[in-house]
A and B are shown apart, each in its own frame.
Chain A
């Protein structure tokens, strides 16, 4: 039976179990549900869970494990001369076998008979049915394919039987346990709790997995390039990974990239912080509820725009505008119409990134400013302070720690931002302080080192993981510090 069909049957079993369990519980209580420990529905749910959950777990485990077993058996059955070949070739052979096996399901029995042992004819016949083969199959492959199909069939039957039997046993067992005092509700809640725990651990385990995989790859990199050359090197010149060339030819200095990242982030924050903060103050203190209900979502829509769109905006509008503007200014001032702002520059990328960050700053700060207790405002107004005095001297100081936390979180976004800088900052890894010249960032270099045809064992690509883990650590530290500050601030009013 196919897996979807089994799942469907399990679902039907679950529904039946629920109905039967509920009825049985009611019948035991003589139709008076208050005599039961739990509501009748809980008994039904309990029976359904007992029937389906173990069966589903077995199904999942079987689906994961059985291919390994079947495949290794088939590989073991290959002729000795095939086994003597390299693992890659054995893999290819196995690929052919599984395509064949799939193809033989498509053919009818008569067709197989008529082809017989003619491997070349088999390829033609399969091609006609829409199953392409990479090469002419060897005779042992046809045999192995037959074995594979047979084993899969047996495995599938065993699995179906086992799953259905377990489901029925679970249903029967739990059905007999239903009684007045049986605490079905507590059991069901335990299962729900388990589901929640599993769901929340998935995210955490994935994060750990990501970090570990980056660490391993970064470890490979540091095996070839000394860590101090990476962290303190001032030249970024990775060269190309030429096949056969000795591995660590380029120079992998992090400093120019880090400087570019921080510089562009700084420009972005210079744009985003004042604009975002002022708009937050306006929204939380002055705007009428009607205006606020329109303007705030509108501002937050900005946060939903994909950053690549900001990248376009920077590339096609802001960059050329700044370039032309600089050339006009230069022309008016000196008569020489040379542009002193490049189209791709720190300024362009930082400015557009700043626009992107405005909604984060304003939305987070708005929440924090609104959370300052009304009593404080009243206290200040009651002393005869004006609204702006109250905001400046009472509300903002009270909100400051939270706002700083929000700004740190925003800064970590600025550092990790990729698409805008890829399009607007340029790719030149330089150490300089002129905001009108292009610079590049850590994220841009990760993208450029990992795109295109590349070999995954050269330091030229592995450096991307070292960059990634560096970036990860920086933003992680910023976020943790921000959370720490925000939490400390929350305690003040509790």
Chain B
């Protein structure tokens, strides 16, 4: 009886595992820059309310894959994407999909902090304003405050909301950019090496923030630092030479990976 119930529990757990909610599904995704092929038939699913880290050596295609998820590659001349990517049930490369709307649902934070040369307030209000998310000043104020709260920046900047966003420190600028992305209430936030231009203390703050954001958002983060991947993510995907080598739970990935190449990369034998 006991044995049986244990088996049942295991089965239930298995079932739960299989019923993982996928937010975005990438199927046979390939990317070409002109003649050059940068990604080879990548199949990678992104789980909901999970931090997924993309790791791999330089030029392996991890940033390219990230940028296919909100079609930022469209802005690059001569870039072509094949395969299928869905957000919930919508094919994001479908002709019916409005790329502007997509990017409001799938926000992005870039490698280098890139606040607009406007005030802190205007930086946050920019997205809500173009998408018409706020009716009146009171609502906009509320959105700005909530976004800055979420990014853990409110206490630091609440007295100088109308000063220039470029006057903040690098770490604050990056959190401002995260707040800016959060302000349009996206479902997914993509982060392209968000800490590579920051010092260790600012990095720690941003990582902490990523932890907290996970409760409300699905996060995909590209990182060069394997420690960072281990610290912030639950799932990790390893890219090499434009191919997805392995995708697994972060814990397993860093202790007992399935693929020899992952092992070698994590041990620092290449990359």
Contact = CB atoms under 8 A, between A and B. Distances in A.
B114 interface: yes
B107 A382 contact: yes
Interface in B25-80: 70, 72, 75, 77
A384 B104 contact: yes
Contacts of A385: 100, 126-127, 130
Contacts of B114: 373, 375-376, 378-379
Contacts, number: 70
Interface stretch (A275-283, A390-398, A476-484): A390-398
A5 interface: no
Interface in B149-186: 166, 177, 180-181, 184
B116 A382 contact: no
Contacts of A394: 116, 126
Contacts of A398: 116-117
A384 B130 contact: yes
- Size range of the chain B interface in the assembly: 20 to 34
Given A289-B77, A378-B110, 13 more contacts: A373-B114, A375-B112, A381-B72, A381-B103, A382-B103, A383-B127, A383-B130, A383-B184, A384-B101, A384-B102, A394-B116, A397-B117, A492-B166
Interface of A: 289, 373, 375-386, 389, 393-394, 397-398, 492
13 contacts: A376-B117, A378-B75, A378-B114, A379-B114, A382-B107, A383-B103, A383-B181, A384-B107, A389-B130, A393-B126, A394-B126, A397-B117, A492-B166
A376 B117 CA distance: 9
A383 B70 contact: no
Contacts of B118: 397
B244 interface: no
Contacts of A384: 100-104, 107, 127, 130-131, 184
Interface string B112-149: 10111110000000110011000000000000000000
Give the residue among B107, B127, B130 with the most A Cβ atoms within 10 A. B130
A393 B122 CA distance: 11
A492 B165 CA distance: 12
Contacts of B104: 383-384
A383 B147 CA distance: 14
B198 interface: no
B24 interface: no
Contact of B180 (A289, A381, A383, A393): A383
Contact of B181 (A289, A377, A382, A386): A382
Contacts of B112: 375
B108 interface: yes
Contacts of A492: 117, 166
A380 B110 CA distance: 11
A381 B101 CA distance: 11
A327 B131 CA distance: 51
B162 to A, nearest CB: 16
Given A289-B77, A385-B100, A380 B131 contact: no
A20 to B, nearest CB: 55
A373 B112 CA distance: 11
A386 B100 contact: yes
A389 B108 CA distance: 17
B108 to A, nearest CB: 4
Nearest to B112: A375
Of all A-B residue pairs in the complex, the 4 with the closest CB atoms, nearest first, are A384-B104, A382-B108, A375-B114, A384-B103
A381 to B, nearest CB: 6
A379 B116 contact: yes
A274 B120 CA distance: 31
A394 B101 CA distance: 19
A378 B72 contact: yes
Interface string B91-113: 00000000011111001101010
Nearest to A375: B114
A382 B71 CA distance: 9
Nearest to A373: B114
Nearest to A288: B77
A382 B131 contact: no
Give the residue among A373, A378, A384 with the most B Cβ atoms within 10 A. A384
A381 B181 contact: no
Contacts of B102: 384
Nearest to A381: B75
Contacts of B117: 376, 397-398, 492
Nearest to A377: B75
Nearest to B99: A384
A368 to B, nearest CB: 14
B101 A383 contact: no
A373 to B, nearest CB: 7
A389 B177 CA distance: 18
A99 B236 CA distance: 97
A40 B177 CA distance: 59
Contacts of A373: 114
A262 B110 CA distance: 47
A398 B164 CA distance: 12
Nearest to A389: B130
Contacts of A376: 114, 116-117
Contacts of B77: 289
A377 B102 CA distance: 17
Nearest to B103: A384
Give the residue among B107, B108, B166 with the most A Cβ atoms within 10 A. B108
B208 to A, nearest CB: 23
B30 to A, nearest CB: 23
Contacts of B75: 377-378, 381
A248 B240 CA distance: 88
Contacts of B101: 384
A373 B111 CA distance: 13
Nearest to B131: A384
A398 B116 CA distance: 8
Nearest to A394: B116
A387 to B, nearest CB: 9
B177 A379 contact: yes
Contacts of B116: 376, 379-380, 394, 397-398
A384 B126 CA distance: 10
A492 B126 CA distance: 20
Contacts of A289: 77
